[in-house]
Structure 1
Amino acid sequence: MRRTRTRALASTIAATALVLSACGGSDDGSGEDGGSDPQATSAGAKLASTWPLTGLPVKGDDSAVQDHPVLVLKMDNTSSSAPQVGLGSADLVVEELVEGGMTRLAAFFYSRVPGDAGPVRSMRASDIGIVSPVDAAMVTSGAAPITIKRINGAGIEFFGEGAKGFYRASGRSAPYNLFADMTATATLTRGGERPADYLSWGDAADLPKGKPASGLAASFGGGHTTTWSFRDGGYVNESGYAAEGDEFPADTVLVLRVEVGDAGYRDPAGNPVPETKLEGKGEAMLFHDGRVVRASWSKAGLDAPIELATKQGELTVPAGHTWIELVPREAGDVTVTR
C-alpha cells in the first residue's frame, strides 16, 4: 500500500474545503460559515491550481491531481547514454553521484508523461531522500539486493525490467538499451491526490538580487562535471547527452552541497558505491535569470521537503523547471562564471 504524506493530505483537505464552502454556508441554515478558515481555503485553492513539481499554473482542463503518482525514472548520464530520451517532458531533474565518479539522473514526471524515456538504469539508496518527499514511484532497471531491501523498507513503489512498458531498443548496446514507454508504465500504479510541492515555489520578483552569473560548472569529483550556460532566458546543459529538441528546459539550477558516504557494497567493477545523504543541512546556490543567490538548505528527514533560506529568511524557488545538482561537499566543487 502506498504511503500518504501529511502535507499532501492537508493540501487535499484544504482544496476540498474550498469546494464545500463554495456550495453554501453552514448546514444549520443560518448562513454562517461555521468557523471555516479563509486562509486555509485560499492556500488550498492555490495548491490545486499549480503543479507540485514546478509551481506553474494548471491550464485549461488539466488537473493538478493526475491518475498516477509522481514517476521518477533513473536515467544513465554518461556518453554511452546518448541520446537520452524523454528529458524534455520532465517537470524536474535531480543529478546524483554514483560509483566511479559518474552521475545519474532522477527525472521526475507528473504534469506530462512521455512515451519513450531512457536509457533506464538502476536505483541507489540515495534515491530514498530524493523521491520520498512526493511519495513517487520509481522506474528503474533494478538495484543491488541491499538497495532493494532499503527501498522496500522506505515504502517506495518501483517498477523494473519485465514490467509493462519496458523494452530493449535495437541499435544500442546493453546496459544502455533499456527504455520504458512511460505512458504504459504509468498504468501500473494509481494516484489519487495532489502530491506535496517538491520545493517552496514563489515568484522571481521575490528573489534577492544576488550576484551576476552567466554560468556554472558543478563538479562531482574526478569523474564528471556538469556545465551550464545562461542563454535566452534559460539554462543550457553544455555537457548533457539529451537528444536534440528533447533537452530539459531548465529555468533554474539549484545546487545543494551534500554529504556523501559509503553505501556498503561495490559495483560489479569493484568500485565502492557512494550514498548521498539528502537530509540535514548545507550550503545552497540558486541560479536564476543570469544571477546566483547564495543560501542554505535543510531537510529534517529523508521524507521531509527541502527548505531554503538566506539570512533574511525563507528563500522560494521561482516557479518553473528546476534542475537540482547534489554536489558532494568534500570531493565536489562549484565554479561560477560571471
Structure 2
Amino acid sequence: MRHRFTTSVAAVVAASLLLAGCSGGDDEEPASASAPSEPTSSATSEPPEPMYWPLTGLERTGDAPRHPVIVTKVDNTSSSAPQVGLGSADMVVEELVEGGYTRLAAFYYSKVPADIGPVRSMRASDISIVPEGATVVTSGAAPITIKRINGAGIPWITEGAAGVYRDNSRSAPYNLFAKLHDISKRLKAKEEPPAYLPWGTEADLPKGGKASTLTADFGGHSTTWAFQKGGYVNTDSYAAQGDQFPADSVLVLRVKVGDAGYKDPAGYPVPETKFAGKGAAMLFHGGRLVRGTWTKDGLTGAIELSTKAGELTVPAGHVWVELVPAVNGNVTFAK
C-alpha cells in the first residue's frame, strides 16, 4: 500500500503603517510573505508478487527447480509392497489398468526423493495425465503405447538409463527402481510449469456435507481413505511405513474408459482412460464432501472444476486424484 504525505502551505502577510508626527515619516515596507514549501512525499515499494508451487498451490520462496516435473509410474498391487518415495510426492494420480487394478502416477517437483519404486510401465492414459514439459520415469510400455507417447512429445526414461536399477532383493517385475534425485540433476526445464489444478483456500469452499471416509472402487482394486488429524490416510496403502503420501485432499473425477487396442501378456484388454470432456467431481477436504463437475478441453487441456454456484477451487496442499471409471467403477463414503 502506498502512503502519501503533503505539507500544507501557510502564507503569513504582516503590514504595519507607522505615522510620524506632523512632520511626516517614511512608510515601512510590508513584510514579505514566506515562500510556499514544496510538497514532499514518501512511498513504500510494492511487495513482490507471491510465487506458488504448480502441483500443490502452496506459496514458494526462492527460485523454481531447474528440473522439470518428473512423473514416475509406480506399481499399486500387493506385490509392490513396500512402495518407496510416495511420501515426497507433490501429487499422485491413480488410474485404471487391466484387470480392474490401478497404477500410480507420482508427481515430483518441489521435492525429489533419493529413490522411487517399484517403477512400472506407461499407458496411453498417461497422455492426458502428464503435464506439458514433464518427463516420465517408466519401465517402458507396449510398442503401440510408446508410439503414441512419442507422438505426444512426452520424454521418458527407462531401464538402461543412468539411475534406473534393479533391486535384487525383490522379485521381477517389481524390482525396478530409480534414483530420482540423481536423475533430476541431469534434467533441465525449459520453463516453469503451469498450475495443475485450480488452487484456492479452504475458505473458498462451499459448505458441503460430512464425509470422514471414502472408498474409490476400480473393479479389481479399491483405495480407502479416512480423515484423521486434519488430513487423509490411505488405510490400505502399500507404501513403506512413514513414507505414505500426505494427502490434504482427495479429488475424485469420474472418467470415461475405452479400449487401448491391445492386450497385456496375461490376455487382459488394456483400458484407456479418456481424461477429456467433462464428468462428475467429488472433492473431499476437511472431513467434508463438495460435489461438482470437471471439464478438460482435450487430452492436454487444463482441468477446470465448478459447482452450480460457479468456480470450484482446491485448497492448496497435497492432493491424491482418483480417476474412477464412470462405468464399472464406484465411490462410496460415510459420515
TM-score interval, normalised by the smaller of the two chains: 0.7 to 0.9
Counterpart of 1:83 in structure 2 is 82
Q: Please tell me whether Structure 1 or Structure 2 has the larger radius of gyration of its CA atoms.
A: 2
Give, in whole Å, the separation in 2 of the partners of 1:173 and 1:152. Answer: 29
- Letter of the aligned partner of 1:169 in structure 2? D
Counterpart of 1:58 in structure 2 is 60
Contact (CA 8 Å) 1:259, 1:329: kept in 2 or not?
yes
Q: Deviations over 1:142-190 (max 9, x none)?
A: 0000000000000001001111111111210000000000012213321
- Letter of the aligned partner of 1:76 in structure 2? D
- Give matches, 1:300-319, under 5 Å: 300-319=297-316
**Residues 1:278 and 2:280 are matched in the alignment:** no
1:152 to 150, 153, 160: 150
- Letter of the aligned partner of 2:149 in structure 1? I
* Structure 1: runs of 5+ lacking an equivalent: 1-40
Counterpart of 2:233 in structure 1 is 236
**Residues 1:330 and 2:327 are matched in the alignment:** yes
- Letter of the aligned partner of 1:51 in structure 2? W
1:179 to 173, 177, 180: 177
Give, in whole Å, the separation in 1 of the partners of 2:110 and 2:177. Answer: 20
Give, in whole Å, the separation in 1 of the partners of 2:275 and 2:133. Answer: 15
TM-score (norm 1): 0.84
Deviates further, 280-289 or 187-196:
187-196
Q: Deviations over 1:78-116 (max 9, x none)?
A: 000000000000000000000011100000000001101
User: Offset of 1:136 from its aligned partner?
Assistant: 1.2
Give, in whole Å, the separation in 2 of the partners of 1:135 and 1:231. Answer: 35
Give, in whole Å, the separation in 1 of the partners of 2:268 and 2:184. Answer: 33
Give runs of ≥4 in structure 1 deviating > 6 Å: none
SS of residue paired to 1:116: coil
- Letter of the aligned partner of 1:240 in structure 2? S
Give, in whole Å, the separation in 2 of the partners of 1:271 and 1:254. Answer: 28
Contact (CA 8 Å) 1:163, 1:185: kept in 2 or not?
no
Q: Deviations over 1:8-48 (max 9, x none)?
A: xxxxxxxxxxxxxxxxxxxxxxxxxxxxxxxxx99x934xx
Give, in whole Å, the separation in 2 of the partners of 1:305 and 1:114. Answer: 27
Q: Deviations over 1:57-82 (max 9, x none)?
A: 114xx32x211100000000000000
Counterpart of 2:194 in structure 1 is 196
Contact (CA 8 Å) 1:264, 1:273: kept in 2 or not?
yes
1:292 to 278, 289, 292: 289
- Letter of the aligned partner of 1:111 in structure 2? S
- Letter of the aligned partner of 2:49 in structure 1? A
Aligned residue pairs total: 290
Give, in whole Å, the separation in 1 of the partners of 2:49 and 2:171. Answer: 48
Give, in whole Å, the separation in 1 of the partners of 2:275 and 2:83. Answer: 25
RMSD: 1.3
Contact (CA 8 Å) 2:133, 2:190: kept in 1 or not?
no
